[in-house]
Amino acid sequence: MKAMRTLVRASAIAVTAALLTAPAAAEDGYRLWLRTQAPVEGPIAISRLGDTPTLRLAEAELRRDLPAAANLPVLVALASDPSVSALRLPVADLGNEGYLVRPVSLGGRPVLLVTGNTDRGVLYGAFALIRHAASGGQIGSATLRSAPKVKLRVLNHWDNLDGTVERGYSGESLWDWWKLPDYRDPRYTDYARANASIGINGTVLNNVNAKADSLTAPYIAKAAALADVFRPWGIRVYLSARFSAPIEIGGLKTADPRDPAVAAWWKAKADEIYRAIPDFGGFLVKANSEGQPGPRDYGASHADGANMLAAAVKPHGGIVMWRAFVYADTDPEDRAKQAYTEFKPLDGKFADNVMVQVKNGAIDFQPREPFHPLFGAMPRTPLMMEFQITKEYLGQATHLAYLGPLFTEVLEAKTGRGRETVASVVDGESERHQLTGMAGVANIGDDRDWTGGTFNQANWYAFGRLAWDPSLDAAAIAREWAQQTFGTDPRVVDPVVDMMMRSREAVVDYTGPLGLAHVMATGHHYGPGPWVSELQRPEWNPVYYHRADRQGIGFDRSRTGSNAVAQYAPAVAKLYANPRTTPESELLWFHHLPWDYRLKSGETLWEGMVRRYDRGVATVATMRREWDGLRALVDAERWEKTAAFLSIQEREARWWRDASLAYWQSVNGLPLPAGVAAPEHDLAWYKAQSFPHAPGNPH
Ligand code: BDP
């Protein structure tokens, strides 16, 4: 019945939209997955015990977004409220962010109780109930209970102070630094609401390629204004810190972390920040990487640098997230090995309020990478996972690539140390770390739909859900997102989930199958560039990564090559050491193999590669057809945008396939297997393409 009504409503909206000549704003994506906004079946009785800003928000969110009347009144209250504690509910293990939603009898009155040990827990409970209802669950009988497995669930904004966003494909930065702190755009509240709804509790406001200006008094005041908006939503603000700030804005001659004047400067700076932002989360630091300053400039270690900053924020309860994304042009070593080589010896040397933030793979957010060997190799250091939500290497704004499977593939990977998985390292279970975290490089900008396309919203959503619970299933997350985003009609949800679940593998197939990586064009990273070989630093060139020649292709990271496999625990290293036991999806990441190497299918490597490129293109064509079939069931605005994007994706998938095959053929001299279409243009044509104004590359 409810589905029927929703449908009738949806088609009524579509008809109305069609009748209007002005552009229909029925669904412009602004409301993300929080779309209900009006009860379908009449008013809901919602009440609240206790009064804090966050409890008030929990109540207001339920009023606004709970889609259907419960057959029970809903009550929002802290577990410590005397009338609730009298019920002796099992709340002890909910911690300070968990929630419990369940029908109870309070003072003889049946109610659906939304509770937690803190008001933040209650707010998360309210959002869990909304999610449950909006994805088709019954309200009156709902029993929901969850506590986050990861403590810090943080977005990293690579936003510059001039409003550009590094690797951002959805407009300009949300933060209007110029008008802050006086003007607080209402969008800041909506941003916080969306994050809170999926459990995100921290945000780093500025790019890791940081400017020292972010740490000056005017910018601290601006950050404080944002922190004020975010606070009731349970979200803390963090800043990326430029390591050389003591020189640039502090007038010191050095930024050497062992210099007492430098440490004193940071301490005073931290004190100043905490006066403005009492719950400031701490610093994120990119040091000695890609030209950024850092402790290595002074012969000090990453631990020296991190610990000095950690001491500055420690008295205030702050932390330091120190990135392990380092590689140096002076180091001839395989780039994939450098972070491990640098950080592994520092295990146990970091202060207890430092987390080392490690990208999911050892190179750089490629469509597929094996898990980073540091996971499992630094048991005495809390490691924070860094995923990239913005799709720098997966088609940027327009390609549909649901990242849930990428995230879970890494989280589920076994490190080779007993039963340990990457997820159990990240959530602290493995070594009983208290400080745990997951960071996601945000895909959010000031586009009306926040992320530059409806399906990109799913990646923000999936990141939040997995940061809360890394054991969640990617398909289940896709389903609940689709239900909230498009309604619960299975005629929509089933094909949407199907498209999402195939999409990332399709991108892998048409950009770099069988473990190829880093084969994109230079700078903007948009489109193919496997031929690029002239860049100054060897490890910036795609030819460095694929090593294709007349005989074969792939990077030998086994004992006969860079021996990067030895950075994994023996059980995993053993598998990766041999092409026969390496998963074929990661084959060329670890091995240089002849073009006629036999894959498990019996095809040669070359045949298998070609087939995968074709499969990637074909999958996009299938996704387009599936989406075409939804035209009557999805509101016009979102349908049309996605349809246009899918046509871009199909064209560009072909482009990737054709350009790559043209290049590989120029290297190996092999014909295409019988029946396979030749590339549309010759290699020179692909090489000649240039994109001077491609977004996300603000240099
Ligand atoms: C790469 C990006 C670059 C970032 C860098 C990083 O291309 O823009 O600054 O990572 O993570 O993916 O620091």
* Residue 15 pLDDT class (50, 70, 90 cuts): very low
Q: What's the confidence (pLDDT) of residue 17?
A: 37
By C-alpha distance, which of 165, 233, 243 is closest to 198? 233
Q: Note if 431 is an active site residue.
A: no
Same domain flag for 464 and 539: no
CATH number of 135's domain:
3.30.379.10
Please give the DSSP secondary-structure letter assigned to residue 448. Answer: T
What integer is the mean pLDDT of 222-242? 98
* CA nearest to 516, candidates 556, 561, 555: 555
Q: Is the CB of 325 under 6 A from ligand 1?
A: yes
Residue 504 located in a structural domain: no
Asked whether residue 257 falls in the same domain as residue 209, the answer is yes
Indicate if 312 and 435 belong to the same structural domain: yes
Spatial separation of the C-alpha atoms in residues 225 and 219, rounded to whole Å:
10
Report yes or no: 186 and 222 within 8 Å, Cβ to Cβ: no
The residues pairing with 386 across neighbouring beta strands, listed in sequence order, are: 359, 439
Q: How far is the CA of 166 from the centre of ligand 1 (A)?
A: 8
Domain boundary among 112, 146, 180: 146
**In terms of domains, do 194 and 278 share one?**
yes
**Residue 525 alpha carbon, nearest atom of ligand 1:** 7
The closest-lying atom of ligand 1 relative to the alpha carbon of residue 364 is 12
Lowest mean pLDDT among 132-141, 206-215, 381-390, 501-510: 132-141
The residue to which tokens 């999805």 are assigned: 634
Ligand 1 atom with minimal separation from the 166 CA: 8
Ligand 1 atom closest to Cα of 697? Answer: 8
C-alpha triplet 56, 62, 65: angle, nearest 5°: 130
Per-residue confidence (pLDDT) for residue 555, from 0 to 100: 98
Q: Which amino acid residue places its CA nearest to atom 10 of ligand 1?
A: 364
Per-residue confidence (pLDDT) for residue 43, from 0 to 100 = 57
Strand (E) or helix (H) holding 437: strand 437-441
DSSP state of 674: T
Q: Say what the pLDDT of residue 254 is.
A: 98
Q: Please indicate whether residue 166, judged by its CB atom, sits closer than 6 Å to ligand 1.
A: yes
Helices (H), 249-384: 260-276, 302-313, 335-343
Instruction: Please say if the pLDDT value at position 123 is more than 60.
Output: yes
Residue nearest to atom 11 of ligand 1 (CA): 325
Answer yes or no: is 568 within a domain.
no
471 and 398 belong to one structural domain: yes
| Helical pair 119-134 and 53-65, crossing angle rounded to 10 deg | 10
Phi, psi torsion values for 350, nearest 5 degrees: -90, 145
Which of 438, 471, 486 is the last residue before a domain boundary?
A: 486
Res. 22: pLDDT tops 90: no
- Work out the pLDDT band at 70, boundaries 50, 70, 90: low
| 369 Cβ inside 6 Å of ligand 1 | no
**In-domain check, residue 600:** yes
Would you say residue 165 lies in a domain? Answer: yes
Confidence of residue 72 (pLDDT cuts 50, 70, 90): confident
386 within ligand 1 shell (Cβ under 6 A): no
Give the CATH number, domain containing residue 298. Answer: 3.20.20.80
pLDDT at position 139 is 84
**309 touches 279 (CB < 8 A):** no
133 found inside a domain: yes
Q: Are residues 108 and 169 in the same domain?
A: no
CB-ligand 1 contact for 208 (6 Å cutoff): yes
- Point out the catalytic residue in the list 28, 279, 290, 429: 290
Tokens at 14, concatenated: 């579509």
Same domain (yes/no): 342, 390: yes
Q: Name the token pair of 633.
A: 């069931």
Report CA dihedral (175, 181, 185, 189) to the nearest 10 degrees: 90
Catalytic-role residue among 81, 364, 369, 480: 364
Predicted confidence band at 140 (pLDDT cuts at 50, 70, 90)? confident
* 196 & 108 share domain: no
Say whether pLDDT at 12 is over 80.
Answer: no
Do residues 192 and 80 both lie within one domain? Answer: no
Q: How far apart are CA 316 and CA 374, in angstroms?
A: 29
Assigned domain for 295 exists: yes
59 is a catalytic site residue = no
In a domain, 14, yes or no: no
Residue-wise pLDDT for 42-64, tens only, equals 556 899 999 999 999 999 999 88
Average pLDDT over residues 210-218: 98
Total domain count for the chain? 3
Q: Are residues 117 and 160 in the same domain?
A: no
257 falls within a domain: yes
pLDDT for position 631: 97
What does the H/E/C string look like for 648-659? HHHHHHHHHHHH
Same domain? For 129 and 186 the reply is no
Residue 271 known to be catalytic: no
Q: Are residues 600 and 523 in the same domain?
A: yes
Percent of the chain's residues with pLDDT above 90: 90
Confidence of residue 649 (pLDDT cuts 50, 70, 90): very high
DSSP character for 137? -
Range of the domain at 605: 509-555+592-688
Q: Which amino acid is at 436?
A: T
